[in-house]
Amino acid sequence: MNVLVLKGGPDAEREVSLNSGSRVADALRRAGVTVTEVAIDRATGAQLRDLAGDVIFPVLHGPWGEGGPLQELLMQDGRPFVGCLADAARLCMDKPASKRICEAAGIPTPPSQVIGPTDTLRLKPPLVLKPCDEGSSVHLRVCRNEREVHQGRQELQSHRPTMMAESFIQGRELTLGMLNDRQLPLIEVRAKSGLYDYEAKYTRDDTEYLLDPDLPPGVAESIRAYSQKAWQVLGIRDVARMDFMVDDRGAWFLEANTMPGFTDHSLVPKAALHAGITMESLVKGLAEAAFSRRSMGRDHRHACA
């Protein structure tokens, strides 16, 4: 098995992807797997076809690399690849759309509204302003009053004319990593700044990660049940990270990340290691799960591992 590890991409999370991709490639090599490691920008199908590899491990984050366009190219390429097919990738990257699907399936998610520059905002603060299709808390603002809402809209809508406003849940931040055949231990994230933003995720060293935290009765079970339902209704495969906020009313689903990070700060590798799965076993297992689909024909015909 020769694994083609793709990293980089044109999105705002390029640096995170370069870091994640390098760690995936290094771990695969330590596991004895042959690796072709390539940094790409906005690759074409012809460029992908020229790259060696029996299975593709695309470690990209953001709208192009994680949100459907790259997955379309990979489906056309025909080689098995790690991660969601294009429709599921596109749906999960579209936060408002994925929230609607999950809410219809009975998964609680904070009230939200998609707003353009001239739209009247119906939600009252505190609320969160965020892009509809980004990860890693890029261009995210927590607004606790009307002044901060006005300021946040002015700042962000120069970059993002359309964005999502979401009611802010004051509580504990939980995340659950999922693989095809298992759920990993829960992690509670405690950012010293109070906000688990880009810096807290990737550059600061004072963020706390609590494995298997003590939670009120029934909360962990709810998160696991909601995550399994979201995995199903959103059409996810191979790997994902489900993000939640928990307050005195229970667990609130925020979003599904279909290619979570693999940096030394990233949550899925932390949870996997806590469960006894080394980084080498984690990434080799994902590559092997994709590689096993090769006998089924073109990867785009099969949504399940």
Q: HSE of 261 in the Cβ direction (CA atoms, 13 Å)?
A: 21
Q: Walk along the chain (305 residues) and give the pLDDT tens digit of each residue.
A: 999 999 999 998 899 999 999 999 999 999 999 999 999 999 999 999 999 999 999 999 999 999 999 999 999 999 999 999 999 999 999 999 999 999 999 999 999 999 999 999 999 999 999 999 876 456 789 999 999 999 999 988 887 889 999 999 999 999 999 999 899 999 999 987 665 455 544 455 678 999 999 999 999 999 999 999 999 999 999 999 999 999 999 999 999 999 999 998 899 999 999 999 999 999 999 999 999 998 665 555 444 33
Question: Under a CB-based contact definition with an 8 Å cutoff, are residues 16 and 202 in contact?
Answer: yes
Q: Check residue 157 and give its pLDDT.
A: 82
Catalytic: which of 37, 257, 293, 299? Answer: 257
The whole-angstrom distance between residue 206's C-alpha and the CA centroid of its chain comes to 22
Active site residue 255: yes
* CA angle, 72 then 58 then 212, to 5°: 120
pLDDT at 75: 97
Which is the catalytic residue, given 19, 20, 98, 136?
Answer: 136
241 annotated active-site: yes
Q: In the chain, which ranges are E strands?
A: 2-8, 34-40, 55-58, 112-115, 127-131, 141-143, 163-167, 172-179, 182-190, 208-211, 239-247, 250-257
Q: Are 159 and 146 in contact (CB under 8 A)?
A: no
Look up tokens 């906020």; give the residue.
Answer: 245
Determine contact, residues 93/68, Cβ cutoff 8 Å. yes
Q: Is 226 marked active-site?
A: no
Is residue 109 within 8 Å of 166, Cβ to Cβ? no
Domains defined along the chain, listed by start:
2-83+279-299 (3.40.50.20), 92-108+170-274 (3.30.470.20), 112-167 (3.30.1490.20)
Point out the catalytic residue in the list 197, 241, 285, 293. 241
**Which entry of 133, 202, 238, 266 is annotated as an active-site residue?**
202
Residues 6 or more apart from 229 whose CB is under 8 A from it?
A: 102, 105, 106, 107
- Based on the residue annotation, tell me whether 257 is a catalytic residue of this protein: yes
Q: Is 134 a catalytic residue?
A: no
Catalytic residue among 13, 37, 66, 197: 13
Whether 2 is a known active-site residue: answer no
Report whether the peptide linkage leading into residue 126 is cis, meaning its omega lies within 30 degrees of zero: yes
Q: Is the dihedral of CA 299, 276, 186, 259 positive or negative?
A: negative
- pLDDT (0 to 100) of residue 200: 47
- Between strands 141-143 and 112-115, the pairing is unpaired
pTM for the predicted model, two decimal places = 0.91
Active-site residue, from 94, 255, 285, 293? 255
Catalytic residue among 261, 266, 285, 293: 261
Q: Is 114 left (phi over 0), alpha (psi -120 to 50) or beta?
A: beta
Q: Other C-beta atoms within 10 Å of 242: how many? A: 28
pLDDT of residue 120: 96
Query: How many residues in total does the chain contain?
Result: 305
* Catalytic member of 133, 134, 243, 299: 243
DSSP 56-99: EEE---STTTTSSHHHHHHHHH-S-BSS--HHHHHHHH-HHHHH
